[in-house]
Chain A
Amino acid sequence: LAKTTQPISMDSYEGQEVNITCSHNNIATNDYITWYQQFPSQGPRFIIQGYKTKVTNEVASLFIPADRKSSTLSLPRVSLSDTAVYYCLVGGNSGAGSYQLTFGKGTKLSVIP
């Protein structure tokens, strides 16, 4: 399983763009990169997933450089309701029967008014 490293916490003011970078140096060829968001007392919620280059949806963008050893989740113009823990996950069907999702500790984003 690819190990991921992301900042433990980040602060941002409302209205700013927030970029959270995740390092995954030993990502495998068939691994995907997925981000989840978790609010207190709730289960995680899927945000975005990608394999390479850039993916954008209605809530976020995901930038993946050519070597795929890192990825950056970009949240445009954050609001107070974006205060949550953000998890970067890397993995996929390894073909060896085990393709678990491994959540680390995540990045606790605090949005300040």
Chain B
Amino acid sequence: GAGVSQTPSNKVTEKGKYVELRCDPISGHTALYWYRQSLGQGPEFLIYFQGTGAADDSGLPNDRFFAVRPEGSVSTLKIQRTERGDSAVYLCASSLGGGMGFFDEQYFGPGTRLTVT
């Protein structure tokens, strides 16, 4: 079956621009997570959705970052006024969404590599 997909795979943008990153989770997965990963580091949590609502957005670094999941399936991570420090790989994961929360087995997508010039 299809796994988690993310588009685009690569995105280059200029400092100050707005970007949207898309995640298509596995069908039937109610939980969705966004992470970002810098070179040589482990993934850093950003936000967790259970259904349409953000169950935990404490990882979003500032108010330039926002994510939505309006129909409980596809999610979009939006970054306003991008900065060079936002350059990283943005990973999306989904899980069945049972009682284990984050500790459900998470299935990760391949990521979107964002480069801010």
Contacts and interface: CB of A to CB of B under 8 A. Distances in A.
A98 B45 CA distance: 11
A99 B102 contact: yes
B8 interface: no
Contacts of B107: 46
Given A98-B56, A103-B44, A49 B103 contact: yes
Nearest to A43: B108
A106 to B, nearest CB: 5
Interface residues of B, number: 27
B58 A100 contact: yes
Contacts of B93: 43-44
Contacts of B1: none
Interface of A: 32, 34, 41-46, 49, 85, 87, 91-93, 97-106
The CB with the most chain B CB atoms within 10 A, among A41, A91, A92, A101, is that of A101
Interface in B3-48: 4, 33, 35, 40-45, 48
Given A44-B106, A91-B103, A92-B100, 13 more contacts: A41-B110, A41-B111, A43-B91, A43-B111, A45-B108, A85-B42, A93-B100, A93-B101, A97-B56, A99-B102, A100-B45, A100-B59, A103-B35
Contact of A105 (B40, B45, B99, B111): B40
Contacts of A41: 110-111
Interface in B58-113: 58-59, 91, 93, 99-103, 105-111
Chain A to chain B: the 7 pairs with minimum beta-carbon distance, closest first = A43-B108, A103-B42, A46-B105, A101-B102, A100-B45, A103-B43, A99-B101
